[in-house]
């Protein structure tokens, strides 16, 4: 990065705002230039100060015009800025709509500020090539599962891989137990309940062996503490959504 990134925050959580302002106060690469607690005021500012903004960090559930309407307004006005969404809203339809509005990353709350800072730097790091743009999705999934500490020889690894691909390729596959488990079971000549247990076992293994920073970034809480692990559905959907948003950002 050759310049200071000028960021605008849109969030009605005083804790989020204060934490971000405190963290980036001494940063040499990111400067918080404006903070808003409602979509209306933020939209007015962005429209009138386009040249002073590099990045928008926002929640989806905000007072005034909501986050999706805000993103739609930017698109209608042809205002193109880097955007990172921070939200505790995990609806797959909303996440997909955000990707259609060119959101670079959708990070679940609570989140790691250090992970957020890394994503910001990644966004503004000049890339001369896109080595992953046309890469097979299997390699992306394998890379993530490897870093999450799931060994490739256990059954759950194959089931997780296939489940992620199914969710990635079909937005309507939202009912994991009713659609994905039976299809995987049929492919591997087993039962849906065994598929479910194998995936659960793989997630348990991941929590012991995996990269803690990556887990915190993906699943929105510190796995170094005794926190509840994501459900099978959350685990598969979160990784599928991560790949979708990453590929969208690389286009």
The residue among 88, 123, 158 that closes a domain is 123
Query: Are 172 and 212 contained in the same domain?
Result: yes
Query: Are 66 and 99 contained in the same domain?
Result: yes
Model pTM greater than 0.75? Answer: no
pLDDT of residue 31: 96
Query: Are 69 and 47 contained in the same domain?
Result: yes
Query: Are 62 and 143 contained in the same domain?
Result: no
Q: Domain count for the chain, please give it.
A: 2
pLDDT of residue 66: 93
Residue 129 lies in a domain: no
CATH of the domain at 238: 1.10.10.10
pLDDT of residue 224: 43
pLDDT of residue 119: 84
Residue 36 lies in a domain: yes
pLDDT of residue 228: 63
Residue 100 lies in a domain: yes
List, in sequence order, every residue forming a beta bridge with 108; answer none if it has no partner: 87
pLDDT in tens, the chain (251 residues): 568 999 999 999 999 999 999 999 999 999 999 999 999 999 999 999 999 999 999 999 999 999 999 999 999 999 999 999 998 887 767 777 787 787 888 888 888 888 888 889 888 875 544 444 435 678 888 888 988 889 989 999 999 999 998 888 775 555 566 778 888 988 898 998 999 999 999 999 988 887 777 777 777 654 444 456 788 888 888 888 878 776 654 44
Q: Phi and psi at residue 10, in whole multiples of 5°?
A: -125, 105
Query: Are 91 and 33 contained in the same domain?
Result: yes
101 lies in which domain range?
5-123
Give the Cβ contact number of residue 179 at 10 Å.
Answer: 16
- What strands lie across the sheet with 5-10, from one edge to the other? 30-36, 5-10, 55-58, 82-87, 105-108
Query: Are 86 and 155 contained in the same domain?
Result: no
DSSP of 213-235, one letter per residue?
A: HHHHHHHSS-TTSSPPPPPHHHH
Query: Are 89 and 48 contained in the same domain?
Result: yes
Residue 217 burial by Cβ neighbours in a 10 Å radius (0-12, 13-18, 19+): buried
Q: How far is CA 235 from the centre of its chain?
A: 12
pLDDT of residue 250: 44
Query: Are 9 and 118 contained in the same domain?
Result: yes
pLDDT of residue 162: 92
């Amino acid at each position: 990065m050759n310049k200071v990134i000028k960021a605008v925050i849109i969030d009605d959580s005083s804790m989020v705002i204060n934490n971000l302002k405190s963290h980036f106060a001494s940063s040499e690469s990111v400067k918080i230039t404006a903070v808003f607690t409602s979509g209306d005021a933020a939209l007015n500012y962005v429209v009138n100060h386009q040249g002073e903004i590099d990045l928008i960090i926002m929640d989806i559930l905000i007072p005034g015009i909501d986050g999706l309407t805000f993103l739609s307004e930017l698109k209608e006005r042809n205002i193109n800025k880097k955007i990172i969404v921070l939200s505790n809203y995990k609806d797959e339809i909303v996440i997909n709509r955000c990707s259609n509005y060119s959101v670079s990353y959708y990070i679940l709350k609570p989140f790691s500020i250090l992970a957020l800072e890394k994503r910001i730097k990644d966004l503004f790091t000049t890339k001369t090539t896109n080595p992953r743009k046309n890469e097979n999705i299997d390699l992306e999934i394998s890379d993530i599962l490897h870093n999450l500490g799931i060994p490739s020889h256990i059954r759950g690894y194959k089931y997780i891989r296939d489940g992620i691909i199914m969710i990635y390729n079909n937005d309507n596959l939202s009912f994991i137990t009713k659609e994905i488990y039976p299809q995987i079971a049929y492919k591997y000549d087993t039962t849906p309940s065994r598929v479910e247990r194998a995936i659960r076992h793989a997630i348990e293994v991941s929590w012991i062996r995996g990269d803690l920073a990556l887990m915190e970034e993906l699943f929105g809480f510190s796995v170094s503490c005794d926190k509840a692990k994501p459900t099978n559905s959350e685990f598969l959907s979160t990784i599928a959504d991560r790949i979708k948003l990453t590929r969208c950002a690389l286009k």
